[in-house]
Structure 1
Amino acid sequence: MSKPEHIRIFDTTLRDGEQSPGASMTHGEKIELAALMEDMGVDVIEAGFPAASEGDFAAVSEIARRSKEAIICGLSRSTPNDIERCAAAVRNAARPRIHTFISTSPVHMKHKLQMGPNAVLEAVGRSVAQARNLVDDVEWSAEDATRTEFDFLCKCIDVAIQSGATTINIPDTVGYSHPDEYGRLFRRLIETVANSDKVI
């Protein structure tokens, strides 16, 4: 792991960026862009969502195979099949990572997942543990984190860390939070969550 003061560049252009209108890329363009990112020194390249399509799986697999030093990350929902598919796509990377996520806000749990808090906590633990059995580097995200109740967010993060997550991501999925408020959230989480110093 690099020094704590090192600013890590996590580039999600090939995954989240491609969702922007008019921003879709061909297979060849994805491979070329990933190579340019690696040449520029990007630390983590989120290469795609392997379970989303055969095209995404193929692109992530080829980017992983061609990688040299960058961490090659695939995004995965917290379902066992998605995690297996993601692991298969990144397995030939020099430094593979699985990035798994689940919604944690009350509105998303109720209307998107139709799951209660206990079921979500169980899914966090199961999915991170499964991913960690497949690769050494696991990122976990709390989708819609900024609208998640603070105590529940802390519980989810704690379960993710205990289950083997190496990176924790706290996204402002719907653009809900003001920058100052967002910064305060990170400070509170670092101060409150046990073992927060053991993860990025």
Structure 2
Amino acid sequence: QVTAAEVNLGFTTIKAPISGRIGRSQVSPGDLVGPSSGDLTTLVSIDPIEALFQVSEATYIDQISQRVTANPTVDDLKNIEVTLELADGLQYPEVGQIDYFGNRIDAATGTMEARARIPNPYGLLVPGQYVRVTLQDTALKDGLFVPLAAVQADQQGAFVLVVAGDGTVQRSNAQLGERLDDMVLVTGGLQAGDRGIVRG
């Protein structure tokens, strides 16, 4: 009887399978609970926290597929950083990383599911919270970058005013690529060493 009592006593202790934040308890000390009692409380993992979001098919083709292989590994996915903007417009200070992409495009919405893990050391993020997700590639980019302030545009397209060898100012049409902060990648029309006019 003592052994049976010790076994039964062991069933009265519930241990959390993960670390995290516990919600409101649905029972009080002394309550009789059993398999039909339902959830006693909820426990959620807080640090790191996961963000589930959708990326458009165009985004996947233009940005994602160029950076991962046909069978992406975790290391491939870590080349893509994730930054968050909170509902009030503030930028969340921690940077996360993609750790999962879905395996198909949703035909109804034209999007693919993705997931990122974000450090949450101070518990600022909570499950169910709305955030705006921005993907940022961390792989180094080779190419000619010029300040956005140097680029102008008219009906003929984008161009940069450059100073020629004789000191005259000439128009140089430019083909532009992606932006990086206050710089833009020039894929054609300019050469390394050209002197562009930013102001004047």
TM-score (norm: length of structure 2): 0.23
Higher helix content, 1 or 2: 1
TM-score (norm: length of structure 1): 0.23
Q: With a CA cutoff of 8 Å and minimum separation of 6, indicate the structure with the bigger relative contact order.
A: 2
